[in-house]
């Protein structure tokens, strides 16, 4: 953790970007709306193969791997945007080749957490932010925050949570992402070193007992022991009445038990708002004031 994460070069309007589908099946209507937003600013490259379907995946592993690896290898592609989450990115981790490549922006969340973790293992920053299928319906302020995070390397980015679960202050690189995906990386070569980090977690559609089980897995594996702080984004569970409140109560209890500075209620993840944050950036958490400040890093 002593070595800063490398920050990809800032994007510029007119740069070439790649849109890829490393995970679940793509919904054409939402995809088209998001593409229109991106095409107004960048040169967008994609293949019709990303609209493929193999069961619950956007085509075969071979198709999705080739699409993503080509985007990583192409020197003129300055950023890689994921179309959506779902499931499937983890299946590609062992075959992706990043050694010897220069860092470039990876943008997405949810199942894209598996790829963010790979970037973090490489010591690269990435952007936890909207997927393409969100971009046609997302709040304009959140879209602008995403663009600013990708195109500017000056100033700080401040976010406010809603509840302090454990008071205190912390500083360190911001890591993590989706709780379900991140916890599945325990014991693999793709779990980043979380010592001294501020851990961001969010999730959607998980029952309270499953949240407890995944959190407890992180604790038993020692992942939580040497954290500097914890930041909780959106957590939703929709299959039973008042389940959201149950999830929040479970999270309150689990986070309080750690004794690590923790704030919940950040508009990050699967909610109506999805504020982009740079994973790997240096961050400061002031739990008492509900404030997370991400420091924009230097370019690679």
Comparing CA positions, the residue from 297, 4, 273, 295 lying closest to residue 158 is: 295
Which DSSP letter does residue 58 get? S
Spatial neighbors of 235 by CB under 8 A, at least 6 apart, are 202, 203, 204, 206, 211, 244, 247, 248, 251, 269
Mean of the pLDDT values across residues 176-191?
A: 97
Is 202 assigned a catalytic role? yes
pLDDT at 31: 95
Q: Say yes or no to pLDDT of 126 above 90.
A: yes
User: Is the predicted pLDDT of residue 110 greater than 90, yes or no?
Assistant: yes
Is the pLDDT at 3 greater than 70? The verdict is no
Residues 6+ apart with CB under 8 A from 223: 186, 191, 194, 199
Q: Residue 46 class from Cβ within 10 Å (0-12 exposed, 13-18 middle, 19+ buried)?
A: buried
Active-site residue, selected from the candidate residues 128, 270, 281, 286: 270
Residue range 182-195: average pLDDT? 97
Residue 291 has pLDDT above 90, yes or no: yes
Average pLDDT in the 109-119 region? 98
Instruction: Give me the DSSP letters along 174-234.
Output: EEEEEHHHHHHTTTSTT----TTPEEEEEEES--HHHHHHHHHHHHHTTTTTT-SEEEEEE
23, 110, 180, 286: which one is catalytic?
110
Q: What is the pLDDT of residue 157?
A: 87
- Residue in the block written with tokens 């080749």: 97
Active-site position among 202, 267, 281, 286:
202
Count Cα atoms within 13 angstroms, Cβ side, for 186. 15
| pLDDT-based confidence at residue 299 (cuts at 50, 70, 90) | very low
Please tell me the pTM assigned to this model. Answer: 0.94
Phi-psi region of 84 (alpha: psi -120 to 50; beta: other; left: phi over 0): beta
Per-residue pLDDT, 224: 94
Q: Which residues are CB-neighbours of 203 under 8 A, at least 6 positions away?
A: 178, 179, 180, 211, 235, 236, 269, 270
The answer to whether 270 is a known catalytic residue is: yes
Instruction: Give the residues across from 229 on adjacent strands.
Output: 198
The mean pLDDT of the chain is 93
Nearest C-alpha neighbor of 83 from the set 41, 42, 32, 127? 32
- pLDDT tens-digit map of 232-282: 999 976 665 555 568 888 999 999 999 999 999 999 999 999 999 999 999
pLDDT at position 300: 43
3-28 exposure pattern, b = at least 16 Cβ within 10 A, e = fewer? eebbbbebbeeebebbbbbbbbbbee
> So what's the pLDDT on residue 244?
57
269: left (phi over 0), alpha (psi -120 to 50) or beta: left
Would the pLDDT of 170 be above 80?
yes
Per the listing, tokens 């992706």 go with: 96
Q: What is the pLDDT of residues 52-70, one digit of tens each?
A: 999 999 999 999 999 999 9
Query: What's the pLDDT score for residue 236?
Result: 79
Q: How confident is the model at residue 25 (pLDDT cuts 50, 70, 90)?
A: very high
């Amino acid at each position: 953790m002593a070595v800063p994460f490398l920050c990809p070069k800032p994007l510029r309007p007119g740069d070439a970007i790649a849109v890829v589908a490393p995970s679940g099946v793509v919904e054409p209507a939402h995809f088209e709306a998001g593409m229109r937003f991106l095409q107004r600013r960048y040169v967008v490259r994609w293949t019709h193969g990303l609209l493929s379907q193999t069961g619950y995946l956007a085509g075969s592993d071979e198709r999705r791997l080739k699409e993503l690896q080509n985007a990583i290898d192409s020197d003129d592609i300055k950023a890689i945007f994921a179309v959506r989450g779902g499931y499937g990115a983890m299946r590609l981790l062992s075959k992706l080749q990043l050694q010897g490549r220069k860092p470039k922006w990876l943008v997405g969340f949810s199942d894209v957490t598996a790829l963010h973790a790979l970037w973090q293992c490489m010591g690269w920053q990435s952007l936890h932010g909207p997927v393409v299928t969100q971009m046609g319906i997302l709040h304009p302020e959140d879209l602008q925050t995403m663009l600013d995070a990708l195109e500017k390397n000056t100033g700080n980015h401040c976010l406010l949570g809603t509840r302090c679960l454990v008071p205190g202050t912390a500083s360190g690189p911001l890591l993590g992402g989706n709780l379900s995906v991140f916890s599945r990386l325990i014991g693999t070569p793709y779990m980043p070193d979380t010592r001294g980090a501020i851990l961001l977690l969010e999730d959607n559609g998980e029952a309270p007992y499953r949240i407890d089980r995944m959190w407890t897995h992180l604790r038993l594996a020692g992942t939580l022991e040497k954290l500097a702080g914890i930041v909780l984004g959106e957590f939703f569970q929709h299959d039973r009445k008042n389940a959201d409140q149950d999830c929040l109560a479970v999270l309150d209890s689990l986070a309080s038990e750690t004794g690590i500075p923790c704030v919940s209620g950040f508009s990050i993840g699967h909610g109506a708002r999805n504020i982009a944050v740079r994973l790997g950036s240096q961050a400061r958490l002031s739990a008492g004031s509900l404030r997370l400040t991400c420091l924009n890093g230097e370019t690679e």
